Amino acid sequence: MAEFLADNNPCGQYILRLVSRGNAIIAELLRLKHYIPPVFRLETKQDQQKYGEIISDFSYFKMSDDFDQKIDKNPQLQDLDEEFRENYSEILTRFYLTFESIHKYVSDLNKYLDDLEEGIYIQQTLESVLLTEEGKQTLCEALYLYGVMLLLVDLHMEGTVRERMLVSYYRYSAQQSHAESNIDDVCKLLRSTGFINCLGSKRTPNYPEDYFKRIPVNTTYVNMVLGRLRSDDVYNQIAAYPHPEHRSTALATQAGMLYVCLFFAPNILHNQTAKMREIVDKFFPDNWVISIYMGITVNLIDSWEPYKAAKNALSNTLDAANVKEHATRYSTRLQKLIPQTRQLLKEGALVEDNVLDHVNKVIYIIRECNVTLRWLMLHTAVLSITSAGNKRCKQIRDQVISDTKYKASEVFELLLNTAEFELKIKDLFKHLLMEKQKKWEACKKECVERMIELSEVFSGSKPLTRVEKIDNLKSWFSDLAKEIETLNHEQITAAGRKIVQMIQALEEVQEYHQLDSNLQVRQFLADTRRYLHQMNRTVSIKEEVLITLQIVGDLSYAWELVDTYTSIMQDGIKQDPSLVIKLRATFLKLSSALEIPLLRINQARSQDLVSVSQYYSGELVAYVRKVLHIIPETMFGLLARIIHLQTSVLKELPTRLEKDRLRELAQLEERHEVARLTHAISILTEGILMMKSTLVGIIRIDPKQLLEDGIRKELVKHIATALHQGLTFNPKAKTSELHTKLEALGKIMDGHRRSFEYIQDYVNIYGLKIWQEEVSRIISYNVEQECNSFLRNKVQDWQSLYQSQSIPIPRFPPVDGQSVNFIGRLARELLRITDPKTTVYIEQMTAWYDAKTHSEVINLKFFSKVSKSVGTAGLTGLDRLLCFMIVTELQNFLGALQKGVLKDKQWVEMFSSVSKGMTPLSGTVSNPKNFYSQFISRAQKVWPQILEWILKIGQLQLLRKHIAYELNISCKFNSKYLASALQTMNDAVLADIEAHYKDPTKPYPKEESPLLFDLANYLDWAGISNPYAKIYITTKNLQYFPLLTFLFVISQLPKLQYMKQLGTLLSRKSQEPLDGVPFVVGVQTVFRQFHPEIRNTFLLYLSQYVKSYVEISTCNKPTDLPGEVVNTLHFMENFVHHSGLPRKILANHIPDLILDEYASVNS
């Protein structure tokens, strides 16, 4: 047996590695079913409209040229296609490699069979391999696993979705093909079968046999495998189930394999009635719902419906009388086993001696429990989607439920009791096996010492009251001591027989030699017999018991079914939190299922062991979390009542109060209710903390961590819901709801935070730490998802640093057409109410005012309100989103100029003539009004669009400036040492960088150093940044850009007038709304993205404009400056101020006389 899989046997090693790979492929398929990009389903109208023209099924191969040409001709489709490729090529590659591995698996299996046939493996043929136990098992598994792969692909990945993914991979990966398996063969194998896993769908004709035929497998091999599975006990399971009634359970694994493999020989299912009768009589005489792989169940009534021979063979099993007989039998067993297991689990029942004396009885009870559980769980389970439409399936299930008087709670109780009973027996036997030799030696020593002492007593040398010297007894006891000394616990049979004989001899010697009269001798003999009995028990402790328990206790069939009992588990925990201790045994019993897929991977010493173990262990841990999540869920339900009491009912005690009001302010009943609720929460958490640390597969479950994760998950759910609901705005509302919504949200968040802080000591968690981490994670995740709309390479959920499988952040459907989530809605509502077309920003008041009513819209205090409702993380997230918006506006603005205006021949000619007319810039233009107006009017069409971009950029920058101020004030107030340390660190790093540029020998942070990135992140959070000085995008030098911007600015300045009392530029006419501050800030932000020389050129153009108008005006009224000049100088002054430039720059370009005159006008 062992020789076939030996390292030096290439024949055995090849098939072992292949089977190991098959299990790993199935694990990957099960893992990937959660990662199918929803876009490939094309379920929503939005997806169909957007991606319908770039996603195709296999019809693509008939018209690939037309399909690709259509995309190439349309720049928008081309851009979308490129974006789609960048976003999905990684996950598509992973899916394709898994699909390809299925094709490679069957190709390698066929190659192995050909090699066996051709005699490549010396002295090995298909027949000889099947004669060895391991060879028979692995060859059967190889075919079975291939069938399971095909069924799983179709079950979890719909045919059309599969085709779309394969076509997309084919298009985006330049029709790649790999060494041994190319994409054409993969597509042929995995093209759509027509199977749809949904209610009401019709069964595809000849499914799945046609699907299994796509790559033919050696017919002789298939027939021989089916022969072995039909006739042999391939895994020697019957030894663990000696009772005839348990035979179908013993062969259940083999039955699942046979079910799958029969689809490779559909002729047997259709026509060979005798074989099918044999199969049903052996494997399915009392069951028709089977598990084929890790809890994937199949109902034979539905599955074998189209196959005549199979259907007829199954009719005896499905006879109403037969169904009733089995249902009644298992129902009776259930009613008998529940009290029996309860009794056995009582304190003192499972003591060492009792168990060792009744090992066979104990194993029989465990066997009965597991067989009963298996039948009841499988045959009363909710019908699968495919079986639900079959009337016969429903009819039989209803009959079973009726005949068994099925109650889910009773089955669950038996499962709990069985799991706990098994665990106790296993732990006891493991302990006994470890202590076996030690106990044996101790008992043997006691026996030998007593025999020697008795020998000495009857020799007369040892004084003992009234015992005469008897030489025969002296010799006999001495010889017996020597015999006991020679006993060896490893020779189980011989040692056991000798011990029994010795016990009989001691009883006889006591009886015949009348030794009863002496109490001490009698006691010595009784003790020796007792120790010999103990030795006999110890020698019967075998590892085979544990192996039998492992086989019998298999719960892999319930890997998915157990989920139907989740609600019962959770109700039980709510009533009695200590139930968690019993559930631990159930989870451990379920974890034994992991051995099935891992056995061959482990034997092959495959590198897949860790990843496959991680997957199945992760799935089980996720289920444990799901069950135990009722504790934090209930806890938060109680917490909600505490929040209500603390925020709405309980009044704060004044520092001084009147004696008469003491009872009123004490609010004893309300405070008692808070105390009662708090006690209920602490009792709930106690339940989970009583559970021991448990190894589930390869993941260790720490109950404290489990509780914390559950609390985090529930907290995330509540906070995310509060943010989603609290920041939803009515677009039809006449006045903005922002202020009231933020106040309401602030109260909700404050209530959650205060109650969380209050409860932390009672549940032993770091409340504030958890609160800050999770709120920050929720905000960061939502900002990331909102920013996806600005990115080509979108961050998917499975790539996100902030999303987690164990503590998921819920996603809500978008409420409006623009924003993805609450952070987007908040940003856009803020932009709407501060729109430069409807509001005016007064810099001295740091506030926005309504342009018509002159009422205040928002001021500095507003941002502290935002901070209170969404926290520092929310403000930072909002700031980051505004950054993305600025980048998008800048890219759109400069992209449009570059593609349209600055490359257009007519525009370039116009700019050339303007440039010539203004040369040299140090001079003046002779007739400025006519000169400038002719060019401004020619560009009249583009100004409105440019103005919109500029104002939007300026508005976003102003909001960022306010957010930075609020963050900085908050940081200085709440964490002054951090603020000081960051400021000092920032100054020091900047000084070092400046020093490096002056002297390159001095140090500079290396590219791989995270210093600058991490420091910048800290500075953003602390508000130590100047948005006006930020470079958002990299730009190339655009010819005539400063000239275009100059013409644009002077075209807009006449719409503005300087308001002396407000100290700002305001719109002249209400019909042409234009806000001066966002306008100036927007223009300076655009120039900040270019080399400083571009900005200097722009200032030179403005200076020439000023000088030209002054020169003309001196002829008429030399004392007054023209309106154009005053407005331009105001603009320049603000521009220089917001750019962070020294004011003397103006003096460098404009004569002091003009500046002095301007200063006198303003004073």
Dump pLDDT digits (tens) for 1027-1078.
999 999 988 888 888 888 998 999 888 888 888 777 788 888 777 778 889 9
Assess whether pLDDT exceeds 50 at residue 719.
Answer: yes
Residue type, 1019: L
Choose the weakest-confidence range: 85-89, 772-776, 926-930. 926-930
| Mean pLDDT computed over 500-504 | 80
Percent of the chain with pLDDT over 90: 29
Residue count of the chain, please give it: 1163
What integer pLDDT is reported at residue 2 of this predicted model? 47
Concatenated DSSP letters for 380-449?
SSPPPHHHHT-HHHHHHHHHHHHHTT--HHHHHHHHHHHHHHHHHHHHHHHHHHHHHHHHHHHHHHHHHH
- Going by pLDDT thresholds of 50, 70 and 90, the confidence category of residue 1114 is low
Q: How confident is the model at residue 597 (pLDDT cuts 50, 70, 90)?
A: confident
- Six token digits for residue 535: 């030795």
Euclidean distance between CA atoms 549 and 898, whole angstroms: 76
| 3-state SS assignment for residue 1059 | strand
Dihedral (C-alpha) 1116, 1119, 1125, 1129: value to the nearest 10 degrees? 170
Q: How many CB atoms lie within 10 A of CB 966?
A: 22
Mean pLDDT across the stretch 883-888? 93
What is the pLDDT averaged over residues 297-320? Answer: 91
Query: Helices in 645-737 by DSSP H: which ranges?
Result: 662-666, 668-689, 703-726
- Rounded Cα distance between 995 and 990, Å, is 9
pLDDT higher than threshold 60 for residue 178: no
Q: What average pLDDT does this structure show over 398-407?
A: 90
Q: DSSP labels for 940-996?
A: TTTHHHHHHHHHHHHHHHHHHHHHHHHHHHHHHHH-HHHHHHHHHHHHHHHHHHHHH
200: pLDDT strictly greater than 80: no
Q: Is the peptide bond before 339 cis (omega within 30 degrees of 0)?
A: no
The pTM for the full model equals 0.81
How many CB atoms are located within 10 Å of the residue 599 CB?
15
178 secondary structure, DSSP code: -
Pick from 875, 906, 910, 895: nearest CA to 1043 = 910
What value does the CA radius of gyration of the chain take, rounded to a whole number of Å? 42
Q: Which amino acid is residue 460, in one-letter code?
A: G
Report the percentage of the chain scoring pLDDT > 70. 96
Q: How many Å apart are CA 1041 and CA 851, to the nearest integer? A: 32
The angle, 0 to 180 degrees and rounded to 10, between the axes of the packed helices 408-459 and 519-539 is: 130
In this predicted structure, what is the pLDDT of residue 513? 60
Please list the alpha-helical segments (H only) found in 471-607: 471-486, 492-512, 519-539, 543-552, 566-575, 579-591, 595-603
Q: What is the mean pLDDT of residues 977-983?
A: 93
* Mean pLDDT value of segment 165-170: 91
What pLDDT is attached to residue 23?
94
Looking at every residue in the chain, the average pLDDT score rounds to 85
| pLDDT range class, residue 217, cuts 50, 70, 90 | very high
Task: Tell me which DSSP letter residue 38 carries.
Answer: G
- What are the tens digits of pLDDT across the range 849-882? 888 888 888 988 899 999 999 989 999 999 999 9
Nearest CA to 908 among 947, 866, 953, 938? 938
Q: Are 309 and 386 in contact (CB under 8 A)?
A: no
Contact 539, 489 (CB under 8 A): yes
Question: Does the pLDDT of residue 177 top 60, yes or no?
Answer: no
pLDDT (mean) for 83-102: 90
Q: How far apart are CA 745 and CA 755, in angstroms?
A: 15
Is 417 in contact with 341 (CB distance < 8 Å)?
yes
Count of Cβ atoms closer than 10 Å to residue 264 Cβ: 24
- Kindly compute the dihedral angle of the four CA atoms of residues 930, 935, 937, 943, in this order, to the nearest 10 degrees: -140
Say whether pLDDT at 130 is over 90: no
Residue 1: what pLDDT? Answer: 41
Distance CA 473, CA 518 (A): 14
Instruction: Tell me the two tokens of residue 118.
Output: 């051709």
**What per-residue confidence (pLDDT) applies to 1116?**
53
At residue 963, does pLDDT exceed 90? Answer: yes
What was the pLDDT predicted at 1106? 87
Name the CA dihedral angle for 398, 401, 403, 408, rounded to a multiple of 10 degrees. Answer: -170
Handedness of CA 286, 292, 293, 296 (dihedral sign): negative
Is a pLDDT exceeding 80 seen at residue 835? Answer: yes
Largest CA distance in the chain: 155
Higher per-residue pLDDT: 780 or 455: 780
The arithmetic mean of pLDDT across residues 739-746, rounded, is: 91
List the structure tokens of 493: 């049979």
Backbone torsions φ then ψ of 63, nearest 5 degrees: -140, 40
Which tokens sit at 875?
Answer: 């403000």
HSE of 1104, CA atoms in CB hemisphere, 13 A: 26
Question: What's the pLDDT score for residue 174?
Answer: 58
pLDDT confidence tier of residue 1163, bands split at 50, 70 and 90: low
Q: Which residue has the tokens 């993380």?
A: 873
Token pair 């027996």 is found at: 425
Q: Give per-residue pLDDT as tens, 43-67.
A: 888 888 888 888 988 888 888 888 8
Contacts of 394 (CB under 8 A, 6+ apart): 383, 388
954-964 mean pLDDT: 94
Q: Which of 289, 32, 334 is nearest to 156 (CA)?
A: 32
Give the residue-averaged pLDDT of 786-814.
Answer: 87
User: At a CB cut-off of 8 Å and minimum separation 6, what does 1067 contact?
Assistant: 840, 851, 1055, 1056, 1057, 1073, 1074, 1075
| DSSP type of residue 1030 | -
